[in-house]
């Protein structure tokens, strides 16, 4: 699949994911990119707020039409994570890794979060909104105090200011390439890339729900539907992203 992108730039918006949803209802589709300098109501996973200060990060959403419909949507989550990690690697040379379900991490700290949402309009193919927030040029003090210990930016990690346009171009290129790979070779090829980039495979982890550990074990694989496979004392348990998050066994971010 070759994807052509139409980029819509905003100085200020509530959330690029919300704008994507509004655009979908007006008939915009696959390849529409919504990019904002700042978001006043940026949203994260699990109902969290995503702080999106002006000009610091790369805050954008991409509208995509999964060829395999709703069933394939969960696989796109891994396509996106691989694409962002590879885009960051290409532009900065840093060894970006992926953390299930779709955070991107550098040296054990989060540098990017991805929020995937579905939009279904009557009589239209289901659309996926991939909201991507990459911490690009923040300094430690720019992060809210409660996330300072577990968040980082590309500028902090490289010691130099990052060209956000170059990063956007690289990530969009990687999205195109990885979607084509999914189409040609199926999810196995994406899973292989994701596993090679993963920072938790083989590690002892805990799964949290509403802040409480509900499962302890070792991360051993990724299922076809995107579930993380965790080996526990009573066997391998598949964990679906839904409302859970993952921590290292010692409680650290990874």
* Element containing residue 229 per DSSP (H, E): strand 228-232
Contact letters for ligand BTN, residues 88-127 (x by CB under 6 A)? ---------------x---------xxx------------
The alpha-carbon radius of gyration of the chain (Å, integer) is 17
Between 97 and 181, CB nearer to ligand BTN: 97
- Does residue 216 belong to the site contacting ligand BTN (CB under 6 A)? no
Per-residue 3-state assignment (H helix, E strand, C coil) for 94-140: CCCEEECCCEEEECCEEEEEEEEEEECCCCCCCEEEEEEEECCCCCH
- Does residue 43 belong to the site contacting ligand BTN (CB under 6 A)? yes
Which residue among 44, 108, 221, 238 contacts ligand BTN (CB under 6 A)?
44
- Asked if 104 and 174 touch (Cβ cutoff 8 Å), the reply is no
- Does residue 16 belong to the site contacting ligand BTN (CB under 6 A)? yes
- Asked if 118 and 71 touch (Cβ cutoff 8 Å), the reply is no
Strands 32-39 and 6-13: parallel
Number of residues that bind ligand BTN (CB under 6 A): 21
In whole angstroms, how close is the CB of 62 to ligand BTN at the nearest point? 10
Cα-Cα-Cα-Cα dihedral sign, residues 192, 193, 196, 197: negative
- Does residue 39 belong to the site contacting ligand BTN (CB under 6 A)? yes
Between 137 and 181, CB nearer to ligand BTN: 137
Q: Would you tell me which residues interact with ligand BTN (CB under 6 A)?
A: 15-17, 39, 42-45, 48, 50, 52, 59-61, 103, 113-115, 131-133
């Amino acid at each position: 699949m070759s994807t052509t992108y139409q980029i819509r730039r905003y100085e200020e918006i509530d959330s690029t994911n919300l704008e994507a949803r509004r655009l979908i209802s007006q008939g915009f589709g696959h390849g529409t990119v919504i990019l904002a300098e700042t978001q006043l109501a940026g949203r994260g996973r699990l109902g969290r707020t995503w702080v999106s200060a002006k000009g610091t990060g790369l805050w954008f959403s991409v509208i995509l039409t999964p060829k395999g419909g709703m069933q394939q949507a969960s696989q796109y989550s891994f396509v996106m994570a691989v694409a962002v990690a590879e885009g960051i690697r290409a532009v900065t040379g840093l060894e970006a890794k992926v953390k299930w379900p779709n955070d991107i991490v550098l040296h054990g700290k989060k540098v990017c979060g991805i929020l995937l949402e579905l939009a279904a309009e009557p009589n239209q193919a289901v659309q996926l909104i991939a909201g991507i927030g990459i911490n690009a040029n923040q300094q430690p003090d720019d992060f809210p105090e409660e996330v300072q210990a577990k968040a980082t930016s590309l500028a902090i990690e490289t010691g130099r200011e990052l060209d956000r346009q170059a990063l956007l171009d690289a990530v969009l290129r990687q999205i195109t390439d990885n979607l084509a790979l999914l189409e040609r070779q199926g999810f196995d090829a994406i899973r292989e890339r994701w596993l090679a980039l993963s920072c938790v495979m083989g590690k002892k982890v805990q799964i949290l729900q509403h802040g409480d550990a509900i499962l302890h074990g070792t991360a051993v694989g990724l299922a076809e539907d995107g579930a993380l496979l965790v080996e526990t004392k009573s066997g391998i348990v598949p964990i679906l992203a839904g409302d859970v998050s993952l921590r290292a066994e010692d409680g650290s971010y990874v």
